[in-house]
Structure 1
Amino acid sequence: MSALSNHVPDPRLITAYAERWDGPLHRINPWTKVAVLPIVVLAVTIVDDPTIVAGIYAAILGLYAASGLPVQRLLYWYTLPVVFVVTIVGPLAFGEPGVPIGGLVLETPIGSLSLTWAGLSVFLGLLFRSLSVVTYSLTIAMTTEYNDVAHVLGRVLPRPVDQIALLTYRFTFVMLETLEDLVSGVDARGGSLVSDFWGNRQLYSRVFGMTFLTAIERSERLTDSMEVRGYDGDLTLYSHVERPPARDLLVVGELAVSVIAYGVLA
């Protein structure tokens, strides 16, 4: 994805790590990795202490790094979730009562505005929650082969939701290839998508509009070729994922019990 931003996760790079890399987490049963995801979501949801949430994030980040996955690229991929948290939670952080940090108070036409320690705690807590889920989701995607993911989705999701999920994954590749072709064409003709965003707003609209139209056309041709090869609305899953070993079940069970116990007793 050299023609696109490094701040957007590249499904092709993610797939390459999943298919060709061999880290410690690649050898963990896919069912085990998927089962831990709802536990992570539940944990960061019920835990109120930002310190504990930060510890959960640190553990997940350490797991990501220990698997040999690109940490520097991950920092770029954090751009979108960080921007989302800043946009949604940032204004709320200034509304928390408490002692202003450094005693700084900004007078505005709508009243005094200050960032308190309580507001900072709320912001950091939600940021670490978001990054924890994002990081672990990427860890699963980059350490599990596509056939195994397809098998798990086919078992977990009801039909036709599983088929929609698998075809959406394929459509993402088609759309990215189309977008790269359009961006390369704009650059080859001396255009720029970076220098003046507002001035190029019509160009942006045309690029994204053409991206979806062309991607849909390519997807239709892909569907026709699949139907010629016998596709009848059911993607046959040739992969077989073994049941997780007893050790994995024990670890997942302990994690689930610990999180539930914390939610009940805390």
Structure 2
Amino acid sequence: MRIEKVINNNIISARDNQGIELVVMGRGIGFGKKPGSEIAEEKIEKIFRLENMDDKEQFKELLASLPIELIRLSTEIISYARENLEISLNQNVYLTLTDHISYALERHRKGLKFNNVLYDEVKLFYPLEYSVGHYALELIEEKTGTRLEEDEAASIALHLINGELNTAMGTTFFMIKMMREMMEIIERDIPIPNGRNYPRDRLISDLKQLANRLVSEEPIKGRRDKKLYEFVKDNYIQEHNLIFGINSYIESEYQCSMTEEEQIYLTLNIKRMKDLYLC
């Protein structure tokens, strides 16, 4: 593999055997090198494939502007997330996470406090990603000597969620806020007795899938089962009214709506929850 362009001392661009552009990172990998030079394999730390990226030049410029030590740190966090959560992440997460960590460390040095307004929601809806965020705090402290605030675990988790869903931060905030509000409406209608727990996992999973579909994807297309919808509506009146009310709320607040199939599915799940925990 040969150098196509030297971006800085630590980052160069090249192409693989299929002609796909690569950005190669490594301490001193570009120092004193020129286009056409052979890449020293022992200096390669990370290779980014720019196969499906819209703005390749911006990616290279941003990567070159970030400290290589923090890119290494982010790479370790991202590798840990991929291995432990078994998820795919887009390559932009290397930039956004590194930039966030750099800013968080700078803010900490200046004594500035930061409260993540979605801290509780991230812990509730994305506990695995939050656990990686907590691991990241330990790693940051080990590598830099700085212990960031606990809220940063949720912030790091949000970057992982963005990379997993391939969404912008604003979209992720929007989606989590929607999930929180739907959950609050449901739990107001299902008063679980004190001291009695019920598994939220199924409901959380349903709301995550629904919110992701509503804000990120096209409406589900398929054959409508009008008879089933009418049966559920007529036989599970309270549960259907609850889901219908949630749908009216998200139509008003977010300008999107559930399909009839989604309303049926949630209505039946709410009925099941009531039968199990309110009997």
Q: Normalising by the residue count of structure 1, what TM-score does the alignment of the two structures yield?
A: 0.24
Q: Which has the larger radius of gyration?
A: 2
Higher relative contact order (CA 8 A, sep 6+): 1
Task: Name the one with the larger helix percent.
Answer: 1
Task: Name the one with the larger strand percent.
Answer: 2
Q: Normalising by the residue count of structure 2, what TM-score does the alignment of the two structures yield?
A: 0.23
